[in-house]
Structure 1
Amino acid sequence: MKFKLVAVLFLLFISCHDDDPLIADAELEGEWTLSDVICYCAFASDIDFSLTKVSFNPNKNSVTVTSESEYSFFRNNGEHTYGGQANRINFSDGSVYYFETKGELLTLTFEDNPDIADDEITYIFKR
């Protein structure tokens, strides 16, 4: 009986192994400037997104946000630590973003809640 219990526990343990790599954030490193926000929201035509900058430090798993705008777009000013896996960044407040880099562009897309109709938002940053 003990052998069966140990075998079942072993099978459960190996079946829970996660093959996804840790967050692939090396390409995030450096400073990025916000260039656009895509959402179900309205902004004044003269809004200057470039007043918001983010700087990723993968060695510390942190992003520093500096904004001279009266609006807070991506996150509040300051340093924010993150975790994640593969192409997902999650912050301590529970917010999760998918990221994609293509050359000089970084796209961060908020992982929306299907129960909330208008929470989709995407941030476009440039180097």
Structure 2
Amino acid sequence: MKLKLVAVLFLLFISCSDDDRVIDDLALEGDWVLSNVVCYCGFEEDVDFSLTTINFDSSRSMVTVTNESEYAFFRENGEHFYGGQANRINFSDGSVYFFETRGEQLTLTYEDNPDIADDEVTFVFTR
């Protein structure tokens, strides 16, 4: 019986992969300023994306969004819990974003629904 239990535990242990790791959010830590929104949508020429800022606090799994313009580009003002795995961030409303950090740039790309046309949107933030 003990041998079977050890065998099952061993199989569970080796079946786990790096793809199942918790979100690697240390690179997200800190303040970011929105610099661009890429989507199938139109904006007025004078829209100032930099009026939207976010702050990731990985110790609390919270992102604080501050929109100082009439538009709420990424999320509504306030604190939002986040979770995820690997390079995916998910929020309690079911929205999921793929993220990539390169130096001083953060890219958040909305995981689109294949049943909805033109819902692709990418947010580009800088430090």
For the superposition of Structure 1 and Structure 2, which TM-score range results when normalised by the shorter chain?
0.7 to 0.9
Shift, 1:16, TM fit = 9.9
* Alignment-derived partner of residue 79 in structure 1: 79
Tell me the distance in 2 between the aligned counterparts of 1:90 and 1:107.
15
1:47-126 matches, within 5 Å, as: 47-126=47-126
Which ranges of structure 1 fall in alignment gaps of 5 or more residues?
A: none
Question: SS in structure 1 opposite 2:24?
Answer: coil
Shift, 1:115, TM fit = 0.7
* Alignment-derived partner of residue 37 in structure 2: 37
Tell me the distance in 2 between the aligned counterparts of 1:93 and 1:16.
33
Q: Which residue identity does 2:72 align to in structure 1?
A: S
Question: SS in structure 2 opposite 1:63?
Answer: strand
Shift, 1:68, TM fit = 0.5
Q: Which residue identity does 2:120 align to in structure 1?
A: E
Question: SS in structure 2 opposite 1:47?
Answer: coil
* Alignment-derived partner of residue 14 in structure 1: 12
Shift, 1:18, TM fit = 3.9
Tell me the distance in 2 between the aligned counterparts of 1:117 and 1:66.
29
**Deviations 1:31-78, CA, capped at 9 Å, x for gaps:** 000000000000000000000000000111110001111010000000
- The two structures have a TM-score, normalised by structure 1, of 0.88
Tell me the distance in 2 between the aligned counterparts of 1:24 and 1:38.
24
Q: Does 1:46 align with 2:46?
A: yes
Tell me the distance in 2 between the aligned counterparts of 1:126 and 1:64.
15
Question: SS in structure 2 opposite 1:38?
Answer: strand
Which ranges of structure 2 fall in alignment gaps of 5 or more residues?
A: none
Tell me the distance in 2 between the aligned counterparts of 1:108 and 1:54.
12
